[in-house]
Amino acid sequence: MKTEVNALILAGGRSRRMGTDKASLMLEGQTLLQRTAGVVAPHASQVYLSVAKGGQRETSLPVIEDLETNPGPLGGLQAAFAQQPEKPWLLVACDLPLLDDMTLDTLLRENDERKPATAFRNRLDGRAEPLCAIYKPSAANALNDYLSRNKRCARGFLESLEPTLLDLPSPLALDNANRPEHLNELTSLARDGMREKTVTISYYGKLSSEVPATPEAVTTTAATLAGLYEEQRLTLGLSLDLDVVKPVINDAFTDWTTPLPDQAEVAFLPPFAGG
Amino acid sequence: MPPTMFSLTTSPIIPSDLLSTIPESCGGVVTFEGRVRNHHQGREVLKLEYSAHPVLAESEGEQVMVDALARFPEVTLARAVHRHGTHNLGDIAVLVIVASSHRAEAFEACRWIIDEIKHRVPIWKNEFYRDGTSEWTGCEGCRHAH
């Protein structure tokens, strides 16, 4: 049986990396926020938009204001429980461009009533994904306690609840688009499908000390260089974000949106430090 | 094909080798030596290890020199050498030589070239400290300049 939930869409924070408000980022003629609300609506009794304390946002959705200034995503959930403590909440980030019906169906159908939360495993590192998850009323006290200890990490909180964890039915559904390069990666994958490629990757400078010594062939389904780097960053635990790294294909500088060819020789260059 | 203006080497850099090629029309020659110093942010440095992207360091370095001549047309000659591999204290890691009729543009072009090399040429520096640790350093503060 499907659980009846309210949905809370998170769009409160400003996106530093997009250089713009990521909720208003356009995808196929809609903002990411409009798209997310459209996907979520059939699965929830009511969809709310989480907004900053005193924040303004043009929306037709009912809003729930944070109780504190800049409390992070968990602050949105706290405000939702404060308003409706008896309902389970489906907490959803607005920056999941490939979120789909099948994913939400699975989450609501597989929800275990006895657990305080139900969530998916991240497709790359297997850890719990906090921003497309169901939080039951039994999680509300733990949340207040967590926030009162000045903790803010949504993933840390979810893991502390020992949630039911599910495998993603559509692997890309929870890949988030923090940056334009990642949105491009995801739209490329959605358009062209996930195709397997074999590439070799060389790392230089600081990155070279964080990976196995010899470059080895890597099998990937990434569509662009941004997707490949993100995949490697998460699986190898690389310390540098894409914004300070330069990508190289076949010994030529290129940019992150470049489609990844099969058999490519890729290099990732950290900030230069010659002289 | 014009002579190579930028080169990479693993051998010690000897400035006099390059200075012997200055044309007699040049009244001003500016030389910059980047040397390995014994400290970094308060830590005692014992040696450095430079590494470079083998293809792009040469091509991008050459492009810096081409850009320099376009930007400073009065410059008669510009050369740069960057060394990679292990360096001891006092070793020259990079040498830039600019020659022109008069000193002003030589000073200006030399400064411009070394700054561009640091920003654009894919070379990295691993510093080894007295306390036995090592760290990749150099560009944390200028990430937005790239």
Q: Determine what percent of chain B is predicted with pLDDT higher than 90.
A: 86
**In a mutagenesis test of the A interface, which of B9, B55, B56, B113 is the best target, namely the one with the most A β-carbons within 10 Å?**
B56
A45/B4 Cα distance (integer angstroms): 71
d(CA B101, CA A96): 61
B33 contact residues in A (CB cutoff 8 A) = none
Is the pLDDT assigned to residue B1 strictly greater than 50? no
CB contact under 8 A, A273 and B137: yes
DSSP A29-81: TEEHHHHHHHHHGGGSSEEEEEE-TT-----SS-EEE-SSSS--HHHHHHHHH
Q: Tens digits of per-residue pLDDT, B38-55?
A: 999 899 999 999 999 999
Q: Is B144 on the interface with A (CB under 8 A)?
A: no
What is the interface pTM, i.e. ipTM, of the complex?
Answer: 0.89
How many Cβ pairs within 8 Å bridge chains A and B?
Answer: 78
Which pLDDT score, from 0 to 100, does residue A1 have?
Answer: 61
What residues 5-24 of chain B have any CB closer than 8 A to a CB of chain A?
A: none
Give the torsion through C-alpha atoms of A129, A135, A141, A146, to 10 deg. 10
Looking at the DSSP bridge assignments, the partners of residue A165 are A119
3-state secondary structure (DSSP) of residue B129? strand
Mean pLDDT confidence for B78-82? 97
Tens-digit pLDDT string for chain A (275 aa): 677 999 999 985 554 444 456 676 677 778 888 999 999 999 999 999 998 888 777 788 999 999 988 888 999 999 999 999 999 999 999 989 889 999 999 999 999 889 999 999 998 888 999 999 999 999 999 999 999 999 999 999 999 999 999 999 988 899 888 788 988 998 898 788 889 999 999 999 999 999 988 777 999 999 999 999 998 998 888 999 999 999 999 999 999 999 999 999 999 999 999 98
Q: What pLDDT does residue B3 have?
A: 66
Provide the pLDDT for residue B146.
34
Q: Note the pLDDT tens digit of each residue in B87-105.
A: 999 999 999 999 999 999 9
CA distance, residue B123 to nearest chain A CA (Å): 5
Partners of residue B123 in chain A, C-beta under 8 Å: 272-275
The torsion of the CA quartet A234, A238, A241, A244, rounded to 10 degrees, works out to -150
Cβ within 8 Å, pair B146-A272: yes
Q: Which of residues 102-141 of B touch A (CB under 8 A)?
A: 114, 117-126, 136-140
CA–CA separation, A198 vs A220, rounded Å? 6
Q: Does pLDDT of B143 surpass 50?
A: no
Chain B interface disruption, residue of A240, A243, A272, most B CBs within 10 A = A272
Question: DSSP code of A224?
Answer: B
Interchain CB contact of B45 with A (< 8 Å): no
Mutate to test the interface with A, among B53, B114, B135 (most CBs of A within 10 A): B53
